[in-house]
Amino acid sequence: MKQKLLTSSQVAELINVNVSTVKRWTDSGEIKCTHTLGKHRKYRIQDIIEFATKNHIQINPSLYYPEGENNEEIRQINFAVYSNDYQFLSNAFYNYILSGNKSKAENLLKLIYGHKVPLGTICDSVIASSLKHIGKDWYENRIGIETEHLASNIALHSIIKLQDVIIKKKPKGFVSLCGCLTDEFHNIGITCVNNLLESEGWESYLLGSNTPASSFIKMIELYKPHLVCISTSVINDVKTFTEEVNAVYKFTKKHKGRLAVSGQSLTPEMRNQIRTDYTPDSTNRILEILGEIEFKTKLK
């Protein structure tokens, strides 16, 4: 997908400096840029966010809320970020995806990330909590299945678009495999995990939803991942799910990897039936697991 490129003037407005400063930083190599055929400088949004983060420069919210948007709305969102009011931010995301406002949902996540809120916190405190609200609305018949599907798809779209601006650490040489097993069609959670892994410098392969254990095993044999992540939200057949998880675990251990299985449907009874190394209850817990794997690998 082609990314939007910024001009020197837009970058200057974005990081609140004058154009000559942007050009000086570009000439010195501090800001990456490309050139058009006419020799004009163009900048990737991701490179500007990376530069701003590294140099502790505040990003102008206008990047994600173009001229004409509700300034009071932007002010409230910024205040919520500064005050760590994730309930407000979750409610805002909930309202955007419920009303079908794809643009605002996408821009909200980018704005929050631009304020240097950790990706794991965005996934847990904004995305996951709003989706739980949507799920409860559907379960209690306050919305129809068509509205639930639309809201979920807009949330997924926003998460994928957020990946365009996520700053990725240098490759660490670790490999991960992410996906959902047979008859699991909810792939928002595992997409968040995959994004987090990539941001941490891992080479991550996303299989998506409804992937049988046999396909997981083929990919494990091919990539030999250090970590395999499986997400589940609804378990229709406990026996099949248990058998598939245990099969994936067997081949993961064969290649000296680790398995993490997570999801709201994992009851204490289910956790005792499946074979796994981790059952993380949040995206931030995944971060801790990555640290454990990286540390133990370095000790070998």
Q: Express the helix, strand and coil content of the chain in percent, nearest 5 each.
A: 55, 10, 35
Q: Which amino acid is at 19?
A: V
pTM: 0.81
Helices in the chain by DSSP H: which ranges?
Answer: 8-14, 19-27, 45-54, 71-82, 86-98, 102-114, 119-121, 129-139, 145-162, 188-199, 213-223, 238-254, 268-273, 283-299
What does the pLDDT read at residue 1? 38
What does the pLDDT read at residue 48? 86
Q: Which stretches of the chain score pLDDT less than 50?
A: 1-2, 67-68
Tens-digit pLDDT profile for residues 157-196: 999 999 888 888 889 999 999 999 999 999 999 999 999 9
Which domains are assigned to the chain? 5-59 (1.10.1660.10), 66-162 (1.10.1240.10), 175-299 (3.40.50.280)
Tens-digit pLDDT profile for residues 140-156: 999 999 999 999 999 99
What does the pLDDT read at residue 65? 57
User: Which strand (E) or helix (H) includes residue 14?
Assistant: helix 8-14
What tokens were used for 252?
């993961």
Number of other residues whose CB lies within 10 A of the CB of residue 78: 15
Distance, in Å, from the CA atom of 175 to the CA atom of 258, rounded to the nearest integer, reads: 11
